[in-house]
A and B are shown apart, each in its own frame.
Chain A
C-alpha cells in the first residue's frame, strides 16, 4: 500500500469521525496557538524595550544616584540617596581633562508641571537640563531652536516642548515664539522636539517640557543642586569602557567613597538591555512552559483518540489483515492518521496564532512578534506529537492477530 493510499484512507477515517477528530485537533490547536502567542508576546515586549533603550542614544552612560548591588541587576536607592548627585558633579564630569573620553555630559532633573496657554491647561513632565541633552538623548528639533548655554547659565525663562505637548497646547498653530505660563512665570517657547515615537516606561517622550536646569529648580521650588540623572556620552563605542572608569573614579573621589560602596550607579545601554531582557526571558519561559504543557495535553488527547479508534476498529483491522494487510501497513495507517490529526491541529494553531498576533495588539497595547522559528518549531512539535503519541496505538493495532480481531464484537 503506497504512502499516498495510506494518507487518502487516513483522511477518509478522519472524515468518518468528524466530531471526534475535531475535538482531538482542538487540543493541539490551543497548544500551538498559545505557544506562538506567548512566545510572540515575550519577543514583542523585548523588541519594544530594546527600541526604547536604543532611543536613549548609543555610547551612553546613565549615572543615577543610589548605590548598586550589582551593576546589571539592580540598585539600592532610598531616602537621602537622591541628593547624592548634583549639578556640580555634572560640571566636573564635563571637564575634558578629568574625563577625556566623554563627548557630552548632560544633567537632568525631572518633575511635573502644569503649562497654561490661555484657556488651555496641560500637565506634563518637566525636564531641567543643559543644551547637551539634545545630543545625549539623540533628539532633534522639528521647529525653532534648543536653549543655549548662555540661557542655561542665566536660568532664562525659555522652554522646548515635545510634539504632543505642542499640539495639546497650541493645536495646529506654530508654538515657537509663543508664551506659556507656569505658576505665574511666563516661559517663551523657543523650539519643538521632533516626534520620537517611543514611550519609555509609560511616559511619552513626545509629551514633555525641557527647560534650563536653573529654571527647573525655580519652577519646582527646589533649592538643592540635586539632579536625578547625569547622561554621559562617550566619544565612541571603543571608549565607552574607559569613559565608564573615568566617570566612576571622578565621582568616587568627589563623593569621598570607594567604588565598592559608591552612592551612585552607572548603567550602560547594554546593561539596561540585559536587565530588561532577563525579566522578559523569565516571563517568556514561564508562559511558554504553560503553553508547552497544554501542547502535551493535546498530544495525549491524540493518543487517547487513537487508542479508542484502535479499540473501536478492531474488526476493521482484523478484516484488513485477512485481506492481506501486513502489520507494517496497519501500523502505518494509524501513524498516518495520528500525524494528520497532529498536522491539521498544528496548521490551524499556527493560523490562529498568526491572526491572533495581528489582532491582539489592538486590545492590549502590546506588540506581538511572530517568530518564524517558533512557528516552524510549533508545527514540527505538532507533527511529532501526532507521530509520537500515535506509535503506541499503532503498535497495538499492528499486533492484533487477525482471528481475534475478526471475532471481537
Chain B
C-alpha cells in the first residue's frame, strides 16, 4: 500500500522569549493508506505537537511532512486551510461542536468551506450522520445529545468530506466507558472500510485497538510496534 504520511527529520522548536523548547527532535515515520495507528505517550512527550503537525494545524521548524504526496512544509496559511479541509478529518477530545447549531449544521460545516452547494451539503451531512448511527438525531442540538452521541456527531463531521486521514486527539478522553466502546467500535468499522486513522491517546486499552502503536517520548519515537495480524 502507498504511503499517506511521510515524516522525515521533523523538528519543532517553541520559543518563548529567550527560552527554547524542542518538542520534537527529529521524527521519521511513514504511515500507509488504510493503516490504523495510535500515537502513545505521556503528557509533555510531544504527541500533541505531532498531532498538530500531522493535522496541518502547525508546521515543522525543520524537516519535511509529505501528506498524500504533497509537501506541506512550505505552504502558507490559506493553503494549509485548504489541505485541512480536503484531506483531514478531525475528532477532538472536547468534541468542539457549535452549540447554537443542530447536528446536521455542525456536520456540514467543512462542506461550507469547501464550497459545496446547500442542497448537497444537507444530503451529505444526513448521510454521514446515518453512517455513525445518528439518523434520528439530525436536527438535535449538541446540548440535547449525550457525550457519546456528540462525539459521533464530531466523527460524522470528520467524515463528511471523505478525507484521506481521520485524525483523532484523545477521542475518548471525555467519554464514559460505554460511549468509549461505541466510539472505538465505530473507529474499528471505519478502519475495516479502509479509512486511514491516526489516534493520539495516553490510554493503553484505546491504543490496543489500533494495528500499530507509535510510542513517543521526549520528542522522539521510541517504539514502533505493529500488532500481529494487523493490516
A→B interface (CB under 8 Å)? 1-2, 5, 9, 12, 16, 315-316, 318-329, 401-403, 406
Q: B113: which A residues are within 8 A, CB to CB? A: 1, 320, 323-326, 329
Q: B81: which A residues are within 8 A, CB to CB? A: 321, 324-327, 329
Q: Are A320 and B57 in contact, CB atoms less than 8 angstroms apart?
A: no
Would you give the 0/1 interface string for B70-114, flagging 1 where the beta carbon is closer than 8 Å to chain A?
000000011001101110001010001010110000000110111
Interface size band for B: 20 to 34
Which of B55, B77, B92, B115 is A327 in contact with, Cβ under 8 Å?
A: B77
Which of B52, B82, B98 is A319 in contact with, Cβ under 8 Å?
A: B98
Q: A319: which B residues are within 8 A, CB to CB? A: 96, 98
Q: Which 9 A-B pairs have the closest CB atoms?
A: A324-B85, A324-B113, A326-B81, A326-B78, A323-B110, A16-B100, A319-B96, A402-B57, A403-B57
Q: B86: which A residues are within 8 A, CB to CB? A: 324
Q: Are B77 and A323 in contact, CB atoms less than 8 angstroms apart?
A: no
Q: Are A323 and B57 in contact, CB atoms less than 8 angstroms apart?
A: no
Task: Tell me whether A2 and B115 are in contact in the complex, defined as CB-CB below 8 angstroms, given that A319-B96, A320-B109 are known contacts.
Answer: yes
Q: Are A5 and B112 in contact, CB atoms less than 8 angstroms apart?
A: yes
Q: Are B78 and A322 in contact, CB atoms less than 8 angstroms apart?
A: no
Q: Shortest CB–CB separation between residue A121 and chain B, in angstroms?
A: 75
Q: Are B55 and A322 in contact, CB atoms less than 8 angstroms apart?
A: yes
Which of B92, B96, B112 is A1 in contact with, Cβ under 8 Å?
A: B112
B→A interface (CB under 8 Å)? 52, 55, 57-58, 77-78, 81-82, 84-86, 90, 92, 96, 98, 100-101, 109-110, 112-115, 157
Task: Tell me whether A324 and B115 are in contact in the complex, defined as CB-CB below 8 angstroms, given that A12-B100, A315-B96, A406-B96 are known contacts.
Answer: no
> Taking CB as reference atom, which chain B residue is nearest A4?
B118
Q: Shortest CB–CB separation between residue A181 and chain B, in angstroms?
A: 83
Total inter-chain residue pairs, C-beta < 8 Å: 60
Instruction: Summarize A's interface: helix, strand, loop or mixed.
Output: helix
Instruction: Known pairs A323-B90, A323-B157, A327-B78; list 13 more (Cβ under 8 Å).
Output: A5-B112, A12-B101, A316-B98, A320-B113, A322-B90, A324-B84, A324-B110, A326-B77, A326-B113, A328-B78, A329-B81, A401-B58, A403-B57
Q: B55: which A residues are within 8 A, CB to CB? A: 322
Q: Shortest CB–CB separation between residue A320 and chain B, in angstroms?
A: 7
Q: Shortest CB–CB separation between residue A1 and chain B, in angstroms?
A: 6
A2 and B92 alpha carbons, distance in the complex (Å): 27
A213 and B25 alpha carbons, distance in the complex (Å): 111
Q: Shortest CB–CB separation between residue B47 and chain A, in angstroms?
A: 13
Q: List 18 A-B contacts (CB under 8 A).
A: A1-B112, A9-B112, A12-B101, A16-B100, A321-B84, A323-B84, A324-B84, A324-B114, A325-B113, A326-B81, A326-B82, A327-B78, A328-B78, A401-B57, A401-B58, A403-B52, A406-B92, A406-B96
> Taking CB as reference atom, which chain A residue is nearest B158?
A323
Q: B110: which A residues are within 8 A, CB to CB? A: 323-324
Q: Shortest CB–CB separation between residue A325 and chain B, in angstroms?
A: 5
A12 and B98 alpha carbons, distance in the complex (Å): 12
A219 and B57 alpha carbons, distance in the complex (Å): 98
A327 and B157 alpha carbons, distance in the complex (Å): 21
Q: A5: which B residues are within 8 A, CB to CB? A: 112
A328 and B77 alpha carbons, distance in the complex (Å): 10
A203 and B52 alpha carbons, distance in the complex (Å): 82
Q: A326: which B residues are within 8 A, CB to CB? A: 77-78, 81-82, 113
A316 and B85 alpha carbons, distance in the complex (Å): 16
Q: Shortest CB–CB separation between residue A326 and chain B, in angstroms?
A: 4
A359 and B52 alpha carbons, distance in the complex (Å): 62
A319 and B89 alpha carbons, distance in the complex (Å): 12
A321 and B85 alpha carbons, distance in the complex (Å): 9
**Which of B77, B92, B112 has the most C-beta atoms of chain A within 10 angstroms of its own C-beta?**
B112
A315 and B110 alpha carbons, distance in the complex (Å): 16
A403 and B101 alpha carbons, distance in the complex (Å): 22
A327 and B78 alpha carbons, distance in the complex (Å): 7
> Taking CB as reference atom, which chain B residue is nearest A9?
B112
Q: Are A323 and B85 in contact, CB atoms less than 8 angstroms apart?
A: yes
A321 and B92 alpha carbons, distance in the complex (Å): 14
A194 and B219 alpha carbons, distance in the complex (Å): 101
A318 and B84 alpha carbons, distance in the complex (Å): 12
Q: B101: which A residues are within 8 A, CB to CB? A: 12
Q: A324: which B residues are within 8 A, CB to CB? A: 81-82, 84-86, 110, 113-114
Q: Shortest CB–CB separation between residue A301 and chain B, in angstroms?
A: 23
A364 and B4 alpha carbons, distance in the complex (Å): 78
> Taking CB as reference atom, which chain A residue is nearest B58?
A403
Q: B77: which A residues are within 8 A, CB to CB? A: 326-327
Q: B114: which A residues are within 8 A, CB to CB? A: 324
A406 and B94 alpha carbons, distance in the complex (Å): 9
Q: Shortest CB–CB separation between residue A4 and chain B, in angstroms?
A: 9
Q: Shortest CB–CB separation between residue A407 and chain B, in angstroms?
A: 9
> Taking CB as reference atom, which chain B residue is nearest A319?
B96
Q: A322: which B residues are within 8 A, CB to CB? A: 55, 57, 84, 90, 96
A318 and B109 alpha carbons, distance in the complex (Å): 13
A394 and B34 alpha carbons, distance in the complex (Å): 40
A9 and B121 alpha carbons, distance in the complex (Å): 15
A402 and B157 alpha carbons, distance in the complex (Å): 17
A9 and B113 alpha carbons, distance in the complex (Å): 12
Q: Shortest CB–CB separation between residue B120 and chain A, in angstroms?
A: 13
Q: A403: which B residues are within 8 A, CB to CB? A: 52, 57-58
Q: B109: which A residues are within 8 A, CB to CB? A: 320, 323
> Taking CB as reference atom, which chain A residue is nearest B78?
A326
A319 and B94 alpha carbons, distance in the complex (Å): 11
Q: Shortest CB–CB separation between residue B39 and chain A, in angstroms?
A: 16
Q: Shortest CB–CB separation between residue B117 and chain A, in angstroms?
A: 10
> Taking CB as reference atom, which chain B residue is nearest A330?
B81
Q: Shortest CB–CB separation between residue A185 and chain B, in angstroms?
A: 86
